[in-house]
Chain A
Amino acid sequence: MKFNGKQKLVIAVTGLNAIDSPGPGVAVIRAIRECPDFDVRIIGLSYEALEPGIYMHDIVDKTYQIPYPSAGIEPLLDRIRDIHERENIDLVIPNFDAELFNFIKIGPQLRNLGIHSFLPDLEQFEARHKMELYEFGKKHGMLVPADRLIYHSSDLAKAAEELQYPLVVKGKYYDATIAYTSEQAQKAFNQLKSKWGLPIIVQEFINGIEINIAALGDGEGNTISVVPMRKLYITDKGKAWAGITIDDSSYTNLARKFIKATKWRGGCELEVMQTKDGKPYIMEVNPRFPAWIYLTAAAGQNQPASLVKMAMGEKVEPFTTYSVGKIFIRYSWDLITDVSEFQIISGTGEL
């Protein structure tokens, strides 16, 4: 399939929570809309009525609420089927870690309905999971900080003895805290346990420069795009509020190595810590586009648009260059809506 700018694609996108710790959905849509090779109708898939993307009508054409990931795959499939009957969806792009398992699981059923996706398979998805990453790194010769999975707070002391303070205490899906003492580790354990459940990951602390790498794999081991970004401003949640594209082949090679080893299919983000002696440690691999993904489009490698093309069957040649020194600076904007819109999405589950 080759796009000529005339096809209209209906693309469903999640992750519309463009808040201080934003979901990637709005940035993904922005990049897709900028691609001149196709026209799009964007269907937002939301979980909560206050996700800002729902009310950005120049970004999202229509939004439907979908069941929380904890509801399982059947309710999700039923809801997508229902939306598909009305919207005739061509492609779905999920953007949250916690929902990906379900979307990967229902991939074959979606395909039968005529809905494309471009996601890793379950094996690839699990290999990069926080809980498996250390073993993965060991197997493929990539540096990953040592970690321990903790199911009981009483195991913290043993982990601390082995890894030494400070430690990074991480939730199963999100959130991480640096703990300098056993009291701080205990507190973080309890907070993360109540928020994300068990196990908790306790990881060796690595000091250095934070680099994030957005990459796109074709599922056959080839890297279609890779753009490294240095965080210039970091929020108290550890999120990049500003960042700049940089040129260092050690990062692009690292991402290529990861994609080759996993045969990664789709977008991903490698969170890397570069130590003072120049060693790049993979801290985490997020199995979806990051919230700063629009920077890849601004730098000349539109990863979301390339994913759309590959998902729809077009062969995409790997990008070879990008603009170095492209900066993003995130900002807040008070979007004004009205209770009339809020009550529609709240009451009917669509807007």
Chain B
Amino acid sequence: MRLKKNIATSEAGFIFNPGTGDSYSSNPIGSEILSHLKEDIDRKELIDLICSKYDVDRIQFEKDIDDFISQLTDNNLLDD
């Protein structure tokens, strides 16, 4: 999965869809995940990356990342 090419993000966690004018904000970890999503990455790779860097419960994080990805999908921010 990958963030659509035209989606603009900032280090502060701001997300802007220039095609619709919609904007969103995310927290620092969301922003970090988005930076990984600028390149094509699969779910497992993403989970491994974050879990190796932070002291986080893997099962909880898997639930959170699924929720986050589902929000990105619902808002049409990921490549089909």
Contact = CB atoms under 8 A, between A and B. Distances in A.
Contacts of B16: 325
Nearest to B17: A246
Interface in A202-253: 209, 229-230, 232, 243-248
Contacts of B6: 247
A248 B8 contact: no
Contacts of B19: 246-248
Interface residues of B, number: 7
Contacts of B18: 246-247, 324-325
Nearest to A324: B18
B8 A209 contact: no
Majority SS at the chain A contact face:
strand
B52 to A, nearest CB: 35
A232 B20 CA distance: 10
B20 A246 contact: yes
Interface string A321-334: 00011000000000
Nearest to A230: B21
A204 to B, nearest CB: 24
Nearest to B19: A248
A248 B8 CA distance: 15
Contacts of A230: 20-21
A244 B19 CA distance: 11
Contacts of B21: 229-230, 232, 243-246
A250 to B, nearest CB: 9
Most B Cβ at <10 Å: residue of A229, A232, A247: A247
Nearest to B76: A278
Contacts of B20: 209, 230, 246, 248
A278 to B, nearest CB: 10
A247 to B, nearest CB: 4
Contacts of A232: 21
Nearest to B22: A230
A85 B66 CA distance: 73
A72 to B, nearest CB: 43
A210 B6 CA distance: 21
Interface in B1-53: 6, 8, 16, 18-21
Nearest to A232: B21
A297 B16 CA distance: 22
Interface of A: 209, 229-230, 232, 243-248, 324-325
Given A246-B20, A247-B19, 16 more contacts: A209-B20, A229-B21, A230-B20, A230-B21, A243-B21, A244-B21, A246-B18, A246-B19, A246-B21, A247-B6, A248-B19, A248-B20, A324-B18, A325-B8, A325-B16, A325-B18
Which 7 pairs between the two chains have the least Cβ-Cβ distance? Answer: A230-B21, A244-B21, A247-B18, A324-B18, A246-B21, A248-B19, A247-B19
Interface of B: 6, 8, 16, 18-21
21 contacts: A209-B20, A229-B21, A230-B20, A230-B21, A232-B21, A243-B21, A244-B21, A245-B21, A246-B18, A246-B19, A246-B20, A246-B21, A247-B6, A247-B18, A247-B19, A248-B19, A248-B20, A324-B18, A325-B8, A325-B16, A325-B18
